[in-house]
Amino acid sequence: MKLLIINGPNLNLLGKREKSIYGENSFEDYYSSLQEEFKAVDFEYYQSNVEGELINKLHEVGFSYDAIIMNAGAYTHTSIGIGDAIAGIETPVIEVHISNVYAREEYRHQSLMAKNCIGVIAGMGLNSYRLAIEQFIHLNK
Ligand code: DQA
């Protein structure tokens, strides 16, 4: 299974940024542990702070990969373009969030991508990504 994890803006600062919300770990360390744990999965990781680059990446892999896990960060709540890109590709996408966006500011309660995703996992810390991987493994059996 070819699986791409996409992180959007500010997620390159994990481990340094608002640690009480997003935790102490960098995504790179966590990503290595995922690669160790799920040896059968062919992983790729992409991070960008730029909306158009995130859309380009979805277009690039969205007709050949088996699975995409996307944390679009703040663009989740604002980007019609990312929502449209997910609607336009064939690869299924699971939306993930580290924090429980529904327990936070009201502007984080709306997702412009969720309706084009097969599901949403939020509030489980970095484990949100692991749960999404497990779901894709289940679906690809
Ligand atoms: C986030 C939640 C978003 O509201 C926020 O803008 C982020 C991170 C999360 O993973 O909890 O950057 O997507």
pLDDT digit string (tens) for the chain, length 141 residues: 999 999 999 999 999 989 999 989 999 999 999 999 999 999 999 999 999 999 999 999 999 999 999 999 999 999 999 999 999 999 999 999 999 999 999 999 999 999 999 999 999 999 999 999 999 999 998
Residue with token string 């791409």: 4
Where b means 16+ CB within 10 Å and e means fewer, 122-133 reads bebbbebbbebb
Residue 25 phi/psi, 5-degree rounding, is -90, 145
Q: Can you list the positions of beta strands (E) in the chain?
A: 2-7, 42-47, 67-71, 93-97, 119-122
Residue with token string 């799920």: 38
Which of 25, 94, 99 maximizes ligand 1 atoms within 8 Å of its Cβ, making it the mutation to test the pocket? 99
Q: Tell me the domains of the chain and their CATH numbers.
A: 2-139 (3.40.50.9100)
Residue 105 CA to its chain's centroid (Å): 20
Q: Give yes or no for a contact between 74 and 10, defined as CB atoms under 8 angstroms apart.
A: yes
Threshold 0.95, pTM exceeds: yes
Catalytic residue among 31, 75, 97, 129: 97
Check residue 59 and give its pLDDT: 98
State pLDDT tens for residues 79-93.
999 999 999 999 999
Q: Which ligand 1 atom is nearest residue 123's CA?
A: 11
Ligand 1 centroid – CA 141 distance (Å): 30
Ligand 1 centroid – CA 50 distance (Å): 15
Q: Which ligand 1 atom is nearest residue 11's CA?
A: 12
Check residue 23 and give its pLDDT: 87
**Does the annotation count 138 as an active-site position?**
no
